[in-house]
Amino acid sequence: MTRRHLAGMLALGAAGGALGCRAARHRGDPSILLYDGAGTSPNDVRAFEAVLRRAGLGYWTVNAAELGAMGEAGMLRSRLAIVPGGNYIDIGNGLGARTAADLRNAVSGGLNYLGVCAGAFLAGNSPYNGLNLTGGARFGFYSAERRGVRKAALAIAFPEGATADHYWEDGPELSGWGAVAARYPDGTPAIVEGRAGRGWVILAGFHPEAPESWRQGLRFGASAEADNAFAQRLIRAALDGKALPRF
């Protein structure tokens, strides 16, 4: 099935322009929309696909043109949108104001949202077509960025008392919105969650989906498999609209 056919199915007859003929990468039902448009990291899209496959979860990959063709009503036929890492400025600009507004309205109408790294930045009140699912909160970079650190293995603290090393790269610190479900080493929020209208939103500043290949030159106390298992837990919580343990 081509991307044009996929978009046509999702739009259910809505008017739209040519969307190209790349083969759609989707598996199973469209309960999960994995965004792979301009600005997203292809490596992170693949990392999420690997985690989704291991979890046995069906998903469809969609780009900005496809989301635009779907509109708010089409998006609401799915249960969860995942926006992975990349460059949040390019992601927002690539979405455009109209599609970003449709996505925001779909979340308000009941579509759940999982944003990781750039996807978390996008969920805030970014000037680059941010979704503002956060009541006006805008996120800055985690404090390591100010020390010139661009990627690291960070000991992330969880409410159950456990700490696990996770891959971080240029990710946000998530103060100012939601309930805190994980903290960075400096105590600031690394995962937050809450309602945006009828939609359930989970935002993470680090990458639990990161594969082993991303870890070169860094030392981790937890295996990539263990971190990826937490990524599955995060996806399922977002999909089902369930709260994670909180501080």
What are the tens digits of pLDDT across the range 9-38?
A: 333 222 222 223 344 455 667 899 999 999
- Amino acid in position 178: G
| 163-189: burial string, b at 16+ Cβ within 10 Å, e else | bbbbbbbbbbbbebbbebbbbbbeebb
pLDDT recorded at residue 201? 99
∠ at Cα 31 (25, 37), nearest 5°?
45
- Residues 140/193, Cβ–Cβ less than 8 Å: no
pLDDT reading at 214 higher than 50: yes
Task: Give pLDDT tens digits for 76-124.
Answer: 999 999 999 999 999 999 999 999 999 999 999 999 999 999 999 999 9
Q: Domain 3-240 adopts which CATH fold?
A: Rossmann fold (3.40.50)
What would the two tokens of residue 205 be?
A: 């500043």
Q: 203: helix, coil or strand?
A: strand
DSSP bridge pairs for 33: 60, 81
CA-to-CA separations, 174 to 102, 134, 145, 163, 195, in angstroms, rounded: 24, 10, 14, 18, 15
